[in-house]
Amino acid sequence: MSREEAENGRDNMEIDGCEPQSPQGNAILDANFLKIYYGKLFPHEDIFKWMSYGNDGKHPGCDQSYFGRREFSFTLENDIYLRYQSFNSLSELEKSINEKCPVKIDIGPVYNVDPAKRNAYAKAGDNGFTPVERELIFDLDINDYNDVRYCCCSGNDVCLDCWSLMTAVIKVIDTALRGCNNKEQNNNNDSDGDSTDTMNRNSKSGKFETTEKCTVKEVPIFSLLARENSSRKSFQKQSSDFVETFLEDKDDFGFDHILWVYSGRRGVHCWVCDRKARRLNNEQRAAIAGYLHVYKGNEYGHKKVSLTGPLHPFLARSYNEVLKDIFEERLLCGQELLSSEERFEKILEMIPDESITSELRGKWLESRQSSRLKEDINVVRWGQLKHILQSRKHKGLHRCVEEIVFCYAYPRLDMEGAGMSLCKIILKTTCSFCSSIVPE
């Protein structure tokens, strides 16, 4: 089946927000190497164990159909695209991969029925064939930072200097997703071995249906409202009682099972695998992304980050514990952010006071013609900027320093990424399937 034929019948489901790229556009993987890779190196058993979440048939009470309801898709040589692949056991998965030797494997959602049998339920309407679980996934791409990357890299290239941006991304998002106040509760309530507690089989149809919605203690998704409304009274008016209850005893989201994976080319994917995360609906996923979303605008807008009033605890923690140090110790000199007029003008544009920008511009243009500076020019200029903006006579501009740091170093989320929908498939290349990244 060709890609065109496959996509014509794919029920309006998207793949990572873009069309899968032809492997012929990149280096073509030798078929013999793929056979060796899949036969000797590929972690079939680990993938099966991971995607089963304890439902592997080895203990009573597990859902033995769980893995078989997960969709996989393969991209074969010559751009042949196969969707709705499903496997009932480790041996079936391993046999199919070894026989087909796909150049790319994609992981999709868990449906209420076996994807291979979807046509039998097509006449049942929206509930006949529908996704019921999907990991929450964040796709973070170094290309989104091209406007602040001045090192030797361009396009898909990555070096240690610009990888500091990904380090900041991982640290900020990982901390927010894990939270700090509810690990004991998660350990007690989030075991994945008994997924049948809220998924029951309909005895007549044979399909699995959700009979109990996640409670607030499991899904802390509307806490973004707390950041948008500084007063608790205002927050109460815009949120339901159960969200208010959640906020009283939790800090951020409290997820435990998080995997950071190198995307295979120029970024990272964050897989949040907790049961409560897998069962989030599209609106709840968007709310979590919205909570983390700070960087706005485009290359034509000067002010891409706007921080007003007291910083939300999450943003304050991100700045004090991660962003400030990475910006000053790695990005400032590594990317030479203030080394030329073109570069420092981008930063001066973020300062709303023309008298300050004129003063700094005059100093920096003058120092450009002097060779007396022993310190790195980026460090000197950043110190001058901070001194002026944080001085007592400019109290209204004390947020400018933080806004500049956030603009350069804060995660730039793909709000339309694959993990933001239950229906989308996340792209995974064979070479990066299990390359994990641990935050420094």
In a shared domain, residues 387 and 349: yes
Query: Residue 380 belongs to what domain range?
Result: 313-409
Out of 217-226, 268-277, 305-314, 322-331, pick the least confident: 217-226
Say if 307 falls within a structural domain.
no
pLDDT at 22 over 60: no
Say if 25 falls within a structural domain.
yes
Out of 36-50, 71-85, 379-393, 414-428, pick the least confident: 414-428
Out of 68-82, 189-203, 207-221, pick the least confident: 207-221
356 vs 243, higher pLDDT: 356
Q: Cα separation of 85 and 106, whole Å? A: 10
What would the mean pLDDT of 322-335 be, rounded to a whole number?
93
**Residue 168: helix, strand or coil by DSSP?**
helix
Which run of H or E residues covers position 360?
A: helix 354-368
Say if 218 falls within a structural domain.
no
In a shared domain, residues 283 and 328: no
Say if 136 falls within a structural domain.
yes
Say if 229 falls within a structural domain.
no
Q: Cα separation of 175 and 198, whole Å? A: 29
Q: pLDDT at position 56, please?
A: 81
In a shared domain, residues 106 and 184: yes
Distance of CA 409 to the CA centre of its chain: 15
Say if 306 falls within a structural domain.
no
In a shared domain, residues 12 and 113: yes
Q: pLDDT at position 398, please?
A: 78
What lies within 8 Å, CB to CB, of 340 at 6+ separation is none
Say if 230 falls within a structural domain.
no
Say if 223 falls within a structural domain.
no
Which residues does the annotation mark as catalytic?
71, 139, 141
Considering its fold, how many domains does the chain have in total?
2
In a shared domain, residues 280 and 338: no
**Residue 12: helix, strand or coil by DSSP?**
coil
Residue 267: which CATH number?
A: 3.90.920.10
In a shared domain, residues 404 and 332: yes
pLDDT at 370 over 70: no
In a shared domain, residues 184 and 99: yes
What would the mean pLDDT of 124-130 be, rounded to a whole number?
73
In a shared domain, residues 18 and 147: yes
224 vs 84, higher pLDDT: 84
**pTM for the model:** 0.74
Beta strands 131-133; 136-141: pairing state: unpaired
In a shared domain, residues 262 and 362: no
What would the mean pLDDT of 221-227 be, rounded to a whole number?
33
pLDDT single digits (tens) 66-97: 999 999 999 998 889 999 999 999 999 999 99
239 vs 133, higher pLDDT: 133
In a shared domain, residues 258 and 282: yes
